[in-house]
Structure 1
Amino acid sequence: MTSINGKAVRKLVIACDAGMGSSVMLATQLRRELRGQDVTVEHSAVDSIPGDADVVVCHAGLAERARHGAPGRLIVPFTVYIGDPAIGRVVAAIKDGGDLSG
């Protein structure tokens, strides 16, 4: 099991399959929610996740591909692009210093 304290997250990657639409909007939303935090939010194709990503957020259907593309990184799957509790936990941990695991 991989885990990280939210305050240690420096790069959060939103990984998707097609590279457009809902995941881009999610990345924009997370940039806004995490403004003022020492974290970069990037959008990436699931098959091209940057090697320096600390946490990868992706749709549950892409989680296994993300695990293969970013071994050793925390993968946080979600089912709903807006308002998913998994995404809320990531934001809260980064802001408050809570632990994230997966």
Structure 2
Amino acid sequence: MSTIDGSAVRKLVVACDAGMGSSVMLASQLKREFRKLPVLVEHHPVSAIPADADVVLCQAGLAARARAGAPGAVVVGFRMFLGDPHVAQVVAAVKQGGPVVGTAGG
């Protein structure tokens, strides 16, 4: 599993596949969370993750595809768009420092 210190994160991508809008809402929420930090939050399809992404958040079922498309990024898969502990850990690490650890599997 890959790791990055939260204080080093400059670009976080929320990646999706279905286009249902939930991932767009998560990206908007994260933009608000990080508005005072030098972190760019973007939303992209899992098939078009930018090469300069530091961290990719995506549904757990998309994690393998995200890793293949963004081999240099830390990929964190989550199960729920709201209240997921993996997302909360990423937010805390980016705000306060500490490791962002990629999740295993997919």
TM-score (norm 2): 0.93
Equivalent pairs counted in the alignment come to 102
Contact 1:19 1:44 in 2 (8 A): no
Provide the alpha-carbon RMSD of the alignment.
Answer: 0.9
Q: In the alignment, which residue of structure 2 is the partner of 1:78?
A: 78
Q: In the alignment, which residue of structure 2 is the partner of 1:92?
A: 92
Distance in 2 of aligned mates of 1:97 and 1:72: 20
Q: Which runs of 5+ in 2 are unaligned?
A: none
Q: In the alignment, which residue of structure 2 is the partner of 1:16?
A: 16
The C-alpha deviation readout for 1:44-84, integer Å capped at 9, x for no partner, is: 00000000000000000100100110013100000000110
Q: Secondary structure at the match of 1:75?
A: strand
Q: Which runs of 5+ in 1 are unaligned?
A: none
Alignment of structure 1 residues 35-74 onto 2, 5 Å: 35-74=35-74
**Percent identity of the aligned residues?**
63
Distance in 1 of aligned mates of 2:101 and 2:78: 14
Superposed structure 1 runs of 4+ greater than 6 Å apart: none
TM-score (norm 1): 0.96
Q: Which amino acid aligns with 2:14?
A: I
The C-alpha deviation readout for 1:10-58, integer Å capped at 9, x for no partner, is: 0000000033410000000000111101100000000000000000000
